[in-house]
Amino acid sequence: HLDGNLCRCTGYRPIWDAARSLISCHHHDNTNDATTNTDEEEEKKHGDDVEEIHGPCGIKCEECPERDSCVMDCNLEDQQQKKKKNMIMGASSDNNNGEGGCCGGTCSSSSTDKIQQYQQIIESKHSDKWWDQPNDMFPKELLLLLQGGDNAETKKNAHHEELLSKPLKVVDTSIHNGGTWYMPNTLEELLDLFRDYSSGGSNSSGSGGGIKMVVGNTEVGIETKFKHASYPTMVHPSKDIHTLHDVFSTEEYYHVGGCAALGDLQEFCHDEMKKPMDGVEEKDGSRHRRHRRRQERTAKPIHDMLRWFASTQIRNVACLGGNLVTASPISDMNPMLCSLGATLVLASRPQSDGGIVRRKVNVSDFFIGYRTVQKEDMEVIERVDIPLLQDRFEYCIPFKQARRREDDISIVTSGMRIKLRPAVTATNEEDGGGGGGSHHWEIEDVAIAFGGMAPKTVMARKTMDALIGQPFESTSFEDARKVLQDEFQMPDDVPGGQAKYRLTLACSFLHRFYLNCVEELTKDVAAAANETEGASYPQVPSIDEEEGCGVGGFVGEKKPSITGLQTYPVPKVAKGLEVEHLGMEDENSDLPLAAAAAAAAAAKSSSNEPTKQKNNSVGQPATHASGPLHCTGEAIYIDDIPAPANLLHGSLILASKCHATLASINVEPALSIPGVAGVFTSEDIEKMGGDNKMGPILLDDYTFLPVGEKVDFVGQVLGVVVGASQEIAAKGARAVAVEYSDDVEGKAIVSIEDAINAESFWTDFCHEMKCGGNVDDILTQSEVDGKRLVVIEGSMRSGGQEHFYLEPNSTLAVPSESATNLTIYSSTQAPTKTQDFCARVTNTPAAKVVVRMKRMGGGFGGKETRSVFVATAAAVPAKLMNRPVRVTLDRDTDMAITGGRHAFLAKYKAGAIVEEDGTIKLHALNVHLYNNGGCKFDLSGPVMDRALFHVDNCYFWPNFHSVGTPCKTSQPPHTAFRGFGGPQGLLVAEHIMDHFAAECNVSGDKLRRDNMYALQDATPFGMRFGDGFTGMWNIPGMWDRLEKELDIPGRRMRAAEFNKKNKWVKRGVAFIPTKFGIAFTAKYMNQGGALVHLYTDGTVLVTHGGTEMGQGLHTKVCQVAAQAFDIPLGHVYVNDSSTDKVANTIPSAASMSTDLYGMATLDACQQILKRIQPIKDTLPPDATLKEVAKKAFFERIDLSAHGFFALDNDRCGYDWNKNRPEGFPADLPDNAWKGHPFNYFTQGVAMAEVEIDALTGDYKTISADVLVDVGSSINPSIDIGQIEGAFIQGMGWATIEEVVYGDDDHTWIRPRARMHTTGPGTYKIPAFNDVPESFNVSLLENANNPFAVHSSKAVGEPPFFLGCSVFFCHQGCHHCSTRQRRGIL
């Protein structure tokens, strides 16, 4: 179970594969088991676990004709693995299995092979001491107790057991004042503590609530961290109190200790469901079977609900009692227990010398208000008693719907129980009934409980009354749903929102409950009839065939696995831009590596001179350079850097309001807290002569907002508190007294619509694009050249998105030389920008500020500009106090104030011509784009520009007009995010295509294909498609290929048939293309530098201007350098990115980093190679680089070089305001005179298939197939990883990820404009269960790109939009369901 783990980078599939390869069921010890399956049988048994990598020739390594001469890593590894496997299996032949490689064709490896390989690697790399680390770290006293036994050492330490059996008391006397902790070992000791420290107790402070029981810290931890609650006394009950921790069964009940872990309860229920029916004497067999059925029926709904309750990590420590007393109105288990009729046993000890007093309370009566329960302060929940269901004709079903299936709080949750009995309805003799009656099923009892429908867990008592005594039939439940709708009316501004959806969910759950009960009743009647001869039961109500799909729901379903196929062309070292730019040429380049090796071998055989084997690194699927460290948790991030001496921790002072004036800041309350070292505001910046203004384009922001200025957003930084610990600093920041004036919160401009109404725009950055004729005039016509013109009009909205990088913004500022120098360790994509503003704000020369960046835990654009204020906030106190300062934002703070993806609104009007053969041809588009830039400009203008450049996607519009307007609102400054506005524009394009397809009643696939750009067509911004302009235009061919290979017409037909037969479950298929322009649209940014050192041992150190955020940039750069020097990849290293090694760098963004720094590194490598070539000529042909470098050093030859690369002037840059020059060639496209915004396009197509539950909106992605043109890949495995990660991130943006602010649609959020989704509790990114069950990614072959290093293409951002194919599946399902309800289908 990986339900508690989130990943923002990989797309989950490789993690799933790796974890699955370690499962014991995939690995068997064959040495002592004569019945063990053979390899072939195991391969068949686990065939679903085989992943293959196909090359164009389809030949496995072992079948390759160049098997003996091929020196590719895959072939060598394949041969080595075969030898090892045969040795392990005792085989004598090299041909006993079907493993493959990727030499000219196919690589395949099963999970069993991976386990054997991983175990051998681990065993060979690590010593016994390494393996013993867990035992070495574990306290010896506890280890001895765990081991037990009668050995002398155990007896010698027997007194430790006695010590551990005593009650424990820990008092925090530090400045953190963490209170007093107790661990009692008996129930009496526990109850005495609650009596003495509860409200009114002898040790109570008098304020009440002075004692908290902590079992898993899953609720108290939230209260203390996020709500800043303080509890002077906390109790953790020992496991020795068995009545609190045991889970067991009796004749009529399940008994669950109040402190029993939910995971233990889930495991108990699982075991109860799996117990065999046999094992008793025949005379007791019938009773035993009935009892077992009762246990299984009761255990299953509890087990199924717990599977989706929080996460494995939470369930392992959280307890049922804590869930009950917390009284969350959206708890999953509380409605379940209510419906089951569970009771609580509450225990207390009123007198120290008295006995334990117990009382029972029904769970359904326990909740008396919001977070309020019927429990005295001195009472604890000792256990929960859950009555067993009847063995037949009584059913309990759990229901849950959340934004995400896994690890998410419910929107609505429910437990429903029903008890049925046969009954006879009397009929009047006067009616001809003869005094008889109809034999039917009657509802004897029903219990329906909901969470998420009120401020507490509630029973639907009116609905229950409407059902009890009624016939068990559909009409009874239809009437009950009407009662339910009246019983749970909620206002639109109900906390949590979604009032109508929540009510719909409740009604849908009730309908699904009926359908499930019909199915279960059918099974029971059949089983009862088989067991009891002559028994007669009423007929079970029938369900229409199309209704049958409504049975079930995801709560009771098995969690799906993830499978995938990754396909890429045979690796090769291709020629690219370096041929033209650096004059490089290689007669063996552009050949598959196996063929190149064969050519080299042939040249060697024809010559008597010794030659050195070529080390080919480019094109190889090499492991990410930091991959092993990522997997083991040893990778060092900013917050992991060991604390320097005298380190201070910083916490930001944040504004709690917006649209008000900052009147004053009183720092004295913070300074009075022990451990607080200082508080710094804008006044301190002024005192040291620093510049408080900042911003990437406009200097419209502040490091610390000065008093008297307007507060622009909730969470704006007012200052920083530094202290001895993070907790002390945060306490100090909360203590700072901030006053506001001119508070006009109600006028805060939050949404794009608010901005339009208020005309709140950055008008100087509104851009317009025109080509062709006058669009307004064209769209007023009904015909064009005698052909009908179809005109559509509408709007399209796309929401924001949180970056959710796993490492929040973090900076460590270290002063030196009496604080005249600063070294800034920052998690940033922009070291130079960070250097610049840290220097400005501290009044320090930039030459004395060094920014270093080893690696980021994700960036996605969020650390391009919005990381800088964190660095400056740390630099100010570091400079002024001459002490190191670390500022690491909490997740909620990071999300609340750093901004995210821009929300967009598009208003469009478009026309298309209906040709004589029925073909629809796009004719004219008029579109106005608005984005929500937040309160500061940041990068909102460039983001809008890129959206305008992509609103055409892959389709040709002869007449085109677009306008982009950035909006200014009271949200935090929004910023770069993967795609940088491109996906928002692309989404509008695809929406318009679907609008046309619906309006014209034509196939969306055909409409798209008929309107794709052809060679020599031009985009609205003047770029023409063709080899000399944009490179190869592959989208039409890729589209046709995938359409055929995946049988997309057949898939659509099968989905349509499925939808006709199923009322409540719908399937949708979507097929979309994308093209993404590669280059910074600001010309000056298309440059990069690199510094390369060749050492005398033949190893190479590279430093370049890019930053590593997990995308594999350093790995690719190392491959380029290793290829240039013809050395193994392991001999090249990138340490970090540092402004004192490569200065004046450009942020790592726009997917340009490999293009820039790969070429810059290659430039530096070529300089060194050119210098040492004369030395190399004096040595034997097989001389190593080490030998050459050593001799060059003694010849006083410089072995270091600075490389530089800039895109050609005519391949980047776009001047929006440039008018058409006189004499501009008429045969060139419109707007071509403004520039050439992109160097080339990365292209891709994707198909997705989704299944949606129309009753609840829940969905699963059945499959996704992606084909991407990344040129000639430098590293296929990294590129595929980038594609998978981008796809899932794009899918999340378009489906489940929702950024919510307090606005007109969310009036329950206060203050207005405050961000609500500030953590994983409220903001949901895709989890393991959201990934396509079949996820296949392919790289296009024969797709060379002459405009980038080694013919590669950028890959980071382009695939993001392809994840939106899942959204268009949803849209198709919705349209199908709507049409079916209206009787159209």
The pLDDT tens digits of the residues spanning 1351-1367 come to 999 999 999 999 999 99
Q: Is the pLDDT score of 607 beyond 80?
A: no
Print burial letters for 1162-1187: b (CB count within 10 Å at least 16), e (below 16): bbbbbbbbebbeebbeeeeeeeebbb
Say what the pLDDT of residue 174 is: 85
Answer positive or negative: Cα dihedral of 771, 772, 774, 776: negative
Of residues 104 and 717, more confidently modeled: 717
Stretch 499-521: mean pLDDT: 97
Say what the pLDDT of residue 1185 is: 97
pLDDT confidence tier of residue 176, bands split at 50, 70 and 90? confident
Q: Is the pLDDT score of 930 beyond 70?
A: yes
Least confident interval from 50-59, 474-483, 510-519, 683-692: 50-59
Say what the pLDDT of residue 208 is: 43
Q: By the 8 A CB rule, do 314 and 333 touch?
A: no
Say what the pLDDT of residue 128 is: 78
Say what the pLDDT of residue 744 is: 77
Give the bridge partners for 693, in sequence order.
702
The 8-class DSSP code of residue 1340 comes to P
The pLDDT tens digits of the residues spanning 701-710 come to 999 999 999 9
Q: Angle 13-20/111-125 helices, nearest 10 degrees?
A: 80
Stretch 178-199: mean pLDDT: 92
Answer positive or negative: Cα dihedral of 253, 255, 258, 261: negative
**What mean pLDDT value characterizes the chain?**
89
Say what the pLDDT of residue 166 is: 75
Q: Is the pLDDT score of 727 beyond 50?
A: yes
Q: Is the pLDDT score of 820 beyond 60?
A: yes
Q: Which of the given ranges, 80-84, 153-157, 292-296, has the highest pLDDT on average?
A: 292-296
Residue 139 and residue 143: Cα distance in Å, rounded? Answer: 6
The pLDDT tens digits of the residues spanning 1316-1337 come to 999 999 999 999 999 999 999 9
pLDDT confidence tier of residue 373, bands split at 50, 70 and 90? very high
Element (H, E) at 108: strand 105-109
The pLDDT tens digits of the residues spanning 458-494 come to 999 999 999 999 999 999 999 999 999 999 999 999 9
The pLDDT tens digits of the residues spanning 239-286 come to 999 999 999 999 999 999 999 999 999 999 999 998 886 555 555 668
The pLDDT tens digits of the residues spanning 1250-1260 come to 999 999 999 99
The pLDDT tens digits of the residues spanning 107-146 come to 433 334 444 555 566 666 677 777 777 777 777 766 665 5
* 966: number of Cβ within 10 Å: 29
Residue 733 and residue 679: Cα distance in Å, rounded? Answer: 8
Q: Angle 282-307/262-274 helices, nearest 10 degrees?
A: 140
Of residues 1061 and 133, more confidently modeled: 1061
pLDDT confidence tier of residue 23, bands split at 50, 70 and 90? low
pLDDT confidence tier of residue 452, bands split at 50, 70 and 90? very high
Stretch 670-685: mean pLDDT: 97
The 8-class DSSP code of residue 1266 comes to E
Q: Is the pLDDT score of 620 beyond 90?
A: yes
* 455: number of Cβ within 10 Å: 14
Q: How far does CA 168 lie from the centroid of its chain?
A: 41
Least confident interval from 42-46, 313-317, 690-694, 1122-1126: 42-46
Element (H, E) at 187: helix 187-197
Stretch 327-340: mean pLDDT: 96
Say what the pLDDT of residue 944 is: 98
Which regions of 933-1050 does DSSP assign to beta strands (E)? 959-967
- The amino acid present at 405, given as its one-letter code, is R
- The amino acid present at 323, given as its one-letter code, is N
Phi, psi of 956 (to 5 degrees): -90, 120
Q: Is the pLDDT score of 408 beyond 80?
A: yes
Element (H, E) at 1240: strand 1240-1253
Stretch 353-372: mean pLDDT: 95
Taking phi over 0 as left and psi of -120 to 50 as alpha, with beta for the rest, 817 belongs to left
Residue 1188 and residue 1175: Cα distance in Å, rounded? Answer: 7
| Nearest Cα residue to 809 out of 719, 899, 694 | 899
pLDDT confidence tier of residue 168, bands split at 50, 70 and 90? confident
Strands 180-183 and 168-171: antiparallel
Length of the chain: 1385
Q: By the 8 A CB rule, do 1174 and 1059 touch?
A: no
> Coil, strand, or helix at residue 22?
coil
Stretch 847-857: mean pLDDT: 97
Residue 769 and residue 773: Cα distance in Å, rounded? Answer: 12
Q: Is the pLDDT score of 599 beyond 70?
A: no
Q: What is the 3-state secondary structure (H, E, C) of 516-579?
A: HHHHHHHHHHHHHHHHCCCCCCCCCCCCCHHHHHHCCCHHHCCCCCCECCEECCCCECCCCHHH
| Nearest Cα residue to 1293 out of 750, 857, 900, 809 | 900
The pLDDT tens digits of the residues spanning 563-591 come to 888 999 988 899 999 998 888 875 455 55
Q: By the 8 A CB rule, do 624 and 855 touch?
A: no
Least confident interval from 70-74, 670-674, 928-932, 1140-1144: 70-74
Say what the pLDDT of residue 1188 is: 98
Which whole-number Å values give the CA distances from 640 to 334, 634, 829, 886, 1170, in the listed order? 40, 9, 18, 11, 41
Answer positive or negative: Cα dihedral of 586, 592, 597, 598: negative
Q: Is the pLDDT score of 97 beyond 50?
A: no
| Nearest Cα residue to 389 out of 303, 300, 297 | 297
Q: Is the pLDDT score of 91 beyond 50?
A: no
Q: Is the pLDDT score of 388 beyond 80?
A: yes
| Nearest Cα residue to 1266 out of 1328, 1332, 1330, 1354 | 1332
1376 is written with which tokens? 């199908």
| Nearest Cα residue to 309 out of 183, 218, 392, 185 | 218
- As annotated, the active-site residues are 1357
The pLDDT tens digits of the residues spanning 1177-1201 come to 999 999 999 999 999 999 999 999 9
Strands 1259-1269 and 1334-1339: parallel
| Nearest Cα residue to 340 out of 235, 459, 422, 420 | 459
Phi, psi of 1066 (to 5 degrees): -125, 145
Q: Which residues touch 1376 (CB under 8 Å, ≥6 apart)? A: 1056, 1059, 1066, 1068, 1385
Which whole-number Å values give the CA distances from 1101 to 535, 636, 1098, 1129, in the listed order? 85, 19, 10, 12
Q: Is the pLDDT score of 813 beyond 60?
A: yes
Least confident interval from 106-110, 227-231, 655-659, 1063-1067: 106-110
Least confident interval from 15-19, 124-128, 855-859, 1060-1064: 124-128
Q: What percent of the chain has pLDDT over 90?
A: 77
Q: Is the pLDDT score of 58 beyond 90?
A: no
pLDDT confidence tier of residue 632, bands split at 50, 70 and 90? confident
